[in-house]
Structure formats: structure tokens, C-alpha cells
């Protein structure tokens, strides 16, 4: 056997082994979460198992008996996450479109400001944001968690880079010559061209909003009926409802399932969106 062919096969084998290990590391915790959701507290604390148990019904009944309203938390999370995703993607793409197409004198200054805002952690201004929302009497409402999604510096930055790679300026100029308005050009030309990237960052926005904890804790903390799923899970874990480990794992699995469904439906756009945005036409 040729030595070069042998080396190639060894390298290929090592790559496959590495990818299998990486897949196990990534999928393993999720699988164990689903397995423990079907086991009782005694089984979880006494032994480790990769085989699903038979206590799924008991765990669900324990959640219902505890008073933990997962359905209400699911509804609240869906309302906030879907609204945040739509607003973030559309308005971030609209801002990125303006930065890519229009020759504004302060465009570089504005884009630099966006870069600075990307580097600022959200936890730094959460206290001031809470006080401001309290002044406006908007605490215990969804609006403080939804409306700020219109301004998402991180999404604007990445969508700007993406549009620079896929946007065809000749099409925009042709549409202007035909008399199309700027919003019509954006909605009919720029938005379809940026669809893969929009889906990609839409998934990221949805997951980030779905898993958000600090913001909802400050804004919705005093109204149980407004709590999202992460807040409901926190109360269960803290013993506010039940100390049942099986029920806790089941509630966490219910929280995870919508994310898995969204990812399975739109995962193909992640690779296509990122790859298209990395190539300059």
C-alpha cells in the first residue's frame, strides 16, 4: 500500500473518531436529560443509566400535583420568543441593509458605535433598565422583553457582513429606476436574498430569548402568571413546588423540546446561510 494513501486513511480515521467523540460530548447531556425525565428520584440518585425508565407518567403527575403551570410558562415563552425573533431579524436586517446600501457620511461612526455595543455585556445595564421600566410602570409585562429586540447590535453587525456578501446592488438600482420605493425594494429584493442568513440568526435569536433568565427574572419576577419556562424551572429547582428530581428533569426536557423542534425544522439554513455570507459575489 502506498505510504501516502495509508497516511490519508489514518488521518481520515482520526478525524472520524474525533467527530464521534465530539458528537457524544454534545448530544450526551441532552440524551441523559431525556433519560432522567423518565426515571424516578430514587433511580436518579442511586445509579447511572443510559436506558429510559418507566416513571414518565409518575413524573408528569407529580408536576401537575405540585401546581407548577408549565403550560402557562410555555405560552409565555412562545409569545416572547416569537415576538423577539421577528422583531430582531426584521429590524436588524433593515438596519444592516441601510448600512450596506446607503452612502451616509456618519455610516462609519454609526457602525463603530454598533461594534462597541456588541462588546458591552447586557448585565451591565440591567439595573438601570429595571429602574427605567419601573418608572414607566412596565414591570410584570412582556413589553420590556420584546420591544428592545428592535435594537440588536450583534445581529445588525453579523447581518451587515452577510449582506455585503450576497446583496446585488445592480438589482437595487434597477428597481429604483423602475420606480419602486425603498421599503418595497427591501421587502421584495433584499429580504429574499438574505433569507438564509435571516433564518440562521432567527434561530439564534429564538434560542437566546427562549433560554433568557436574567431579564425575565428582573422584569417578571413578582408576577407568577407572567413567568416564562426558565423561571418556572427555577422555582421547581429551588423547592418552591416539588423536590422531585424526576419531575424536575421532565420539566427541563419540556423546556428543551421546542428548541429541538425549531432546530430540526430550520437547521439546514444555518450551514447555507453562513456559507453564502462568507463568499463575496
User: For residue 273, what pLDDT is reported?
Assistant: 52
**What is the tens place of the pLDDT at every residue in 108-118?**
888 888 888 88
Average pLDDT value for residue range 228-234: 87
Instruction: Please state the CATH superfamily assignment of the domain spanning residues 68-277 in this structure.
Output: MetI-like (1.10.3720.10)
pLDDT cut 70: percent of the chain above it = 93
Q: What is the pLDDT of residue 239?
A: 57
pLDDT at 156 over 80: yes
pLDDT, tens digit, 9 for 90 and up, residues 162-206: 888 888 888 888 888 888 888 999 998 888 888 888 888 888 899
In this predicted structure, the answer to whether residue 15 has a pLDDT above a threshold of 90 is yes
Domain limits, the chain: 3-62, 68-277
Residue 216 is predicted with a pLDDT of 92
Report whether pLDDT(269) > 80.
Answer: no
- Among 115, 106, 112, 100, smallest CA distance to 197 is for 100
- pLDDT score for 264: 80
pTM of the model: 0.83
Q: How far apart are CA 109 and CA 115, in angstroms?
A: 10
Amino acid at each position: 500500500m502506498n505510504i501516502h494513501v495509508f497516511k490519508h486513511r489514518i488521518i481520515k480515521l482520526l478525524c472520524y473518531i474525533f467527530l464521534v467523540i465530539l458528537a457524544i460530548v454534545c448530544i450526551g447531556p441532552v440524551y441523559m436529560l431525556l433519560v432522567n425525565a423518565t426515571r424516578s428520584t430514587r433511580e436518579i440518585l442511586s445509579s447511572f443509566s443510559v436506558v429510559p425508565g418507566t416513571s414518565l407518567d409518575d413524573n408528569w403527575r407529580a408536576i401537575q400535583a405540585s401546581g407548577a403551570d408549565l403550560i402557562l410558562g410555555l405560552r409565555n415563552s412562545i409569545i416572547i420568543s416569537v415576538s423577539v425573533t421577528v422583531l430582531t431579524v426584521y429590524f436588524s436586517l433593515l438596519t444592516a441593509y441601510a448600512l450596506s446600501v446607503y452612502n451616509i457620511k456618519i455610516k462609519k461612526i454609526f457602525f463603530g458605535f454598533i461594534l462597541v455595543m456588541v462588546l458591552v455585556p447586557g448585565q451591565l445595564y440591567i439595573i438601570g433598565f429595571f429602574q427605567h421600566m419601573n418608572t414607566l410602570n412596565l414591570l410584570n409585562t412582556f413589553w420590556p422583553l420584546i420591544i428592545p429586540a428592535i435594537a440588536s447590535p450583534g445581529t445588525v453587525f453579523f447581518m451587515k457582513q452577510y449582506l455585503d456578501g450576497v446583496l446585488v446592488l445592480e438589482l437595487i438600482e434597477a428597481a429604483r429606476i423602475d420606480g419602486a420605493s425603498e421599503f418595497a425594494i427591501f421587502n421584495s429584493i433584499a429580504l429574499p436574498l438574505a433569507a438564509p442568513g435571516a433564518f440562521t440568526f432567527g434561530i439564534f435569536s429564538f434560542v437566546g430569548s427562549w433560554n433568557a433568565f436574567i431579564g425575565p427574572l428582573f422584569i417578571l419576577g413578582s408576577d407568577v402568571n407572567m413567568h416564562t419556562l426558565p423561571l418556572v424551572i427555577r422555582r421547581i429547582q429551588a423547592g418552591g413546588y416539588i423536590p422531585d428530581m424526576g419531575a424536575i428533569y421532565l420539566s427541563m426536557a419540556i423546556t428543551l423540546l421546542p428548541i429541538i423542534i425549531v432546530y430540526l425544522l430550520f437547521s439546514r439554513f444555518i450551514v447555507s446561510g453562513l456559507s453564502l455570507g462568507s463568499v463575496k459575489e
